Amino acid sequence: MNLYDIEKELYSDDVIFTFSGIVSYNFLTSTSMVIKKDLEASGESSKRMMNLFGITTEMFQNIMNYSAKRATIDNKTLGIGTCVIKRCENKEYLIISSGNIIFKKDEDKIRKRLDKIISLDKDSLKKFYKEQRRLGSDAHDNGAGLGFIEMAKKSDEKIKYIFDDVDQIHSYFELEVRI
């Protein structure tokens, strides 16, 4: 498949944004502004734009902090991953997906955390979020557990995720949120 074939595939699915590469805070800031302008121009509601911004930010932070695939730029070690945002079902909702390679040793911890979050209704999710903030405990050292809860609170549906084996020590973690 050549690049033009990939581009045609992306545009056929109403893809708003796609990225695969090194994720930094500068990238996150500038990308968020571009996505926001695109959605404003298309007439998206401000609530949906805020939810999209929050979810995308959390996904990129997960890639920056937890991706096993890393690159060093300006003496900073940054995560590498992929993010796609697309419109679906006559533009009634958006799907935000991210993916990155993780260490298999973290897979069970992430799975348990996400399964717990997915099992909760919206009210229970709010209570769980408050508890976790108060306790200061989390599934990951840098706060990914709270980020998962934030995404779930903003999502119109349950978060979806999958893990695919890469090799003996790595898995590919893919996360999907619909708004």
pLDDT in tens, 23-82: 998 888 888 888 878 778 878 888 888 899 899 999 999 999 899 999 999 999 999 999
Domains of the chain, each with CATH number or no CATH: 3-178 (3.30.565.10)
- pLDDT-above-70 percentage for the chain: 94
Average pLDDT over residues 90-107: 93
Least confident piece of the model among 20-29, 103-112, 138-147, 170-179: 138-147
pLDDT bin (cut points 50, 70, 90) of residue 148 is very high
pLDDT bin (cut points 50, 70, 90) of residue 139 is very low
pTM (2 d.p.): 0.87
**Helix, strand, coil percentages, rounded to 5, for the chain:** 50, 30, 20
